[in-house]
Structure 1
């Protein structure tokens, strides 16, 4: 198979780079200065073990297709529709993204859609460069058909990933794992807003409790933290690269790059949406969604808000909405 990675940032660049290192045909699709750097210099992939510059073919849009092409979609959720629009609808699409809305957006447009639950500590802060902090494996990638099941393609992709520095597996219940990952990602907006300041525990407990409450009320299954920990084991540890620890997660990186957008509508916003449908207040997730979007629009740096200010906004919103 040839893997066309649409969105060659932190996750997409690591997946594409590792597949390329193990001998697979890969095309990286990027835009702007990142695309220019990839075309000019190649992808600089740094890991705890090495730093290599990889001469991977790069494109800014659709390429001449082969019969064995697979799209790996690794853009942020707010960019999913625009990223998919130029591609032929018969191609299989693997959603290697946070959140749980992308697969359904893709299935409206494409015949064959796969979910991928991504545990892959990585960063992309400058054009042409991606850093992957996972060791001994770069990440754990579970994938399967959407909405459920596995097939020959998902098994083949999982096997290719296992040969490419990943703990890869095909699972019949990929969305159950992605909903568990969603709960873990509810703190992304906090990290973006408040950085690594102490005092995060009460807020994170609150947003996670709201998330579990709406998922339980909706009857949506999700893996437990113990299941996640057992599945990951010691396969993926976060280690420094070049002596430097990882700065922050995907939302933190969106503010650090000044991208102007952030993924909060599809993380905290997913919990807000379910809460509104079910009549369950979700003030903590609503404030994190709102404030993360405001910070992105205003191009504020990560850590621009104190935990105390954020907690006060949550309390005020809860009081105004009648939530306790």
Structure 2
């Protein structure tokens, strides 16, 4: 198959390399420094078992790509940009590709598929469970072996079809675990709940993951989803994903932590914790925990602060203060 991977970060670059090694035609679209390094030295994929250098096509914009593949021969675009960049990426893609081109949203959050559906008729959600890292141009790390991760797929908003089954087989052949779900949206809401801790990890460091802030954010989210009538399905932790050190080093942090580390100036929190805040406002459910995490993560991203530089205790105190009820009405004189 011929794929365009739009967003060559950690997930997109590793996926592109795995598909290319499996014999598929892959074109990456990524940031300038990353693309230049791929041109000069190939894409270096480091795993627990060693390093592989993969030569594949990479460009910085879809406009640059337009002169290379014949769009009628592209089987699918895999969207791997962060959610805050989805709308712009899709608008640019729509200038070159026909609306029938399948778009696979291999992203966290639940807003991307709906955005894609405004411009493309065949949209697929991809549930991502792939421990990877991209910290320097031209180099990506994949921390699970022998299976790179899990990429489950389903047609958006619901349903199974032959194309989803075909892509699932291709992903399995490229070293991923992959199932086809009829209700991929429910599974992506479940993943959204678990991704709320991304902000905690980015702000307070990996040791804070799974702690009090993480649990409070998830409890708040479950209340919001119940009030909104949204069913969240939690995919079981796959035994296929076996996280191991790469070069003797553990994965430093997840995708939000990596955004702060690379000082990209943005972070995906508005579409993770911010999605819970949005739903809470729509359905009259207070969300002080997720709102505090959203604001703190955005401030740290804009200021270029170090990941893990915020005190977990101070942030927890701020959350507790925000959850406390305000003063009652004054008695009449």
Q: Conserved in 1, the CA contact under 8 Å of 2:160 and 2:180?
A: yes
Q: Does the 8 Å CA contact 1:197/1:306 hold for their aligned counterparts? A: no
- The match for 1:114 is 124
Quote how far apart the aligned CAs of 1:40 are.
Answer: 2.2
Q: What's the offset of the Cα at 1:243?
A: 0.7
Q: Deviations over 1:38-88 (max 9, x none)?
A: 222221111112211110111222223343411000010000011122222
TM-score, normalisation: structure 1: 0.94
Provide structure 1 residue ranges, at least 5 long, that are not aligned to the other structure. Answer: none
| Cα root mean square deviation, aligned | 1.5
- Give the match for residue 58 of structure 1: 58
Deviation at 1:236, TM superposition (A): 0.6
Shift of 1:318: 2.1
Q: 1:272 aligns with which of 277, 282, 292?
A: 277
Q: 2:80, 2:285 → 1: CA distance?
A: 31
How far apart are the structure 2 equivalents of 1:288 and 1:77? 17
Indicate whether 1:9 and 2:9 are aligned.
yes
Alpha-carbon deviation of 1:320? 6.7
2:184 is the alignment partner of 1:174: yes
TM (normalized to structure 2)? 0.92
Structure 2 gap segments, 5+ residues each: 328-333
CA distance in 2, matches of 1:94, 1:214: 27
Greater Cα offset, 195-204 or 159-168: 195-204
- Structure 1 residues 199 and 15, CA gap change in structure 2 (3 angstroms): closer
Query: Aligned partners of 2:294, 2:107: CA distance in 1, in Å?
Result: 18
Answer with 1 or 2: which has the greater Rg. 2
- The structure 2 residue matched to 1:164, chosen from 174, 177, 187, is 174
Q: Is the 8 A contact 2:197 2:214 kept in 1?
A: yes
Q: CA deviation at 1:198?
A: 5.2
Q: Please list the CA deviations of residues 293-323 of structure 1 after superposition, one character each: whole Å capped at 9, or x if unmatched.
A: 000000101111111111111122223778x
| In the alignment, structure 1 residue 255 sits paired with structure 2 residue 255 | no
In 1, distance between residues paired with 2:14 and 2:247? Answer: 17
Which residue matches 1:99?
109
Tell me the distance in 2 between the aligned counterparts of 1:242 and 1:300: 27
- CA shift, 1:197, in A, is 4.0
Q: Residues 203-242 of structure 1, C-alpha deviation per residue, up to 9 Å, x if partnerless? A: 1111000111111111111123xx513xx1x211111011
> In 2, distance between residues paired with 1:238 and 1:179?
24
Residue 150 (structure 1) shift: 1.7
